[in-house]
């Protein structure tokens, strides 16, 4: 902090002393970093809860003391590693921050994959030092995947409204089923707009991967129809494409961009 890039440095050289306000710094995390820097190793905890660990990562990044804190950061990480989420939770942004600051590429990819596939809103950044390139990549990929799937489903809805696929009864059955499924996801009657708050990619993967098929449809008409086509087509191809794309971010690639 007393190097040239900080304003406090100039004040120190001009007056011989400086008062440094730290209103935004977590006091517990700041004390831990001070004890590490000054060599008071017995005062440094060997375990941290996630909130404190996140705050230490914030300050390590803010004051550029990654190397000084690194050894303890590795201890803390191994202790908390079994608690890394396997589904999206509100802890995800903090974990992504920790993995970014202390270079954990494998876990970083896993956590960003959860944010891409299970996140229901733009990533809540807060004051965490996660670069804009990472946040923008997560938000834009999530929004793009949902937008394309929503467009595809509404195109299927329009297709059944405007075209004849089978008998009136069968088409009505398919149209009603698709409409109800879209309604359950709040995609009908109004079409949602980005950033699609409340929606996530895996909802669509679960509900629409296999399409909609009704073997009893052939009993709805006394006329002969080829009921093999009485089904809403699967969007498996589109889902598979996004399955591959939403695999998580590569830490090393984004480090080069930051």
Q: Locate the domains of the chain by residue range.
A: 7-131, 135-246
Confidence of residue 212 (pLDDT cuts 50, 70, 90): low
Longest Cα pair distance anywhere in the chain, in angstroms? 97
Task: State the DSSP code for 212.
Answer: E
CB 62 within 8 A of CB 84: no
Is pLDDT above 70 for 15? yes
Confidence (pTM): 0.84
Q: How far is residue 55's CA from residue 98's CA, in Å, rounded to a whole number?
A: 9
Cβ-count burial 117-147 (b if 16+ within 10 Å, e if not): bbbeebbebeebebeeebbebbbebbeebbe
**Interval 58-73: pLDDT, tens:** 999 999 999 999 999 9
Q: How far is residue 66's CA from residue 2's CA, in Å, rounded to a whole number?
A: 17
The residue that leads in pLDDT, 146 or 240, is 146
Kindly tell me the number of DSSP H helices and DSSP E strands found in the chain. Answer: 11, 2
């Amino acid at each position: 902090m007393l190097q040239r890039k900080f304003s406090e440095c100039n004040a120190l050289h001009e007056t011989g002393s400086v008062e440094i306000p730290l209103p935004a710094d977590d006091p517990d995390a700041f004390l831990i970093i001070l004890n590490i820097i000054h060599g008071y190793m017995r005062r440094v905890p060997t375990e941290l809860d996630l909130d404190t660990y996140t705050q230490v990562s914030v300050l390590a990044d803010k004051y550029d003391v990654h190397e000084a804190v690194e050894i303890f950061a590795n201890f803390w990480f191994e202790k908390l590693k079994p608690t890394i989420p396997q589904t999206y939770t509100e802890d995800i942004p903090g974990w992504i921050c920790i993995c970014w600051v202390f270079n954990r590429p494998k876990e970083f990819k896993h956590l960003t994959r959860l944010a891409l596939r299970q996140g229901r809103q733009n990533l809540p950044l807060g004051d965490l030092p996660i670069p804009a390139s990472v946040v923008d990549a997560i938000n834009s990929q999530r929004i793009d995947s949902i937008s394309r799937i929503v467009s595809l489903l509404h195109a299927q809805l329009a297709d059944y409204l405007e075209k004849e696929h089978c008998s009136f009864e069968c088409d009505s059955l398919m149209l009603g089923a698709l409409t109800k499924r879209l309604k359950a996801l709040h995609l009908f009657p109004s079409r949602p707009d980005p950033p699609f708050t409340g929606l996530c990619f895996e909802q669509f993967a679960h509900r629409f991967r296999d399409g909609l098929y009704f073997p009893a449809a052939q009993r709805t008409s006394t006329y002969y129809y080829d009921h093999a086509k009485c089904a809403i087509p699967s969007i498996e191809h589109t889902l598979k494409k996004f399955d591959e794309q939403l695999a998580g971010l590569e830490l090393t690639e984004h480090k080069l961009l930051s």
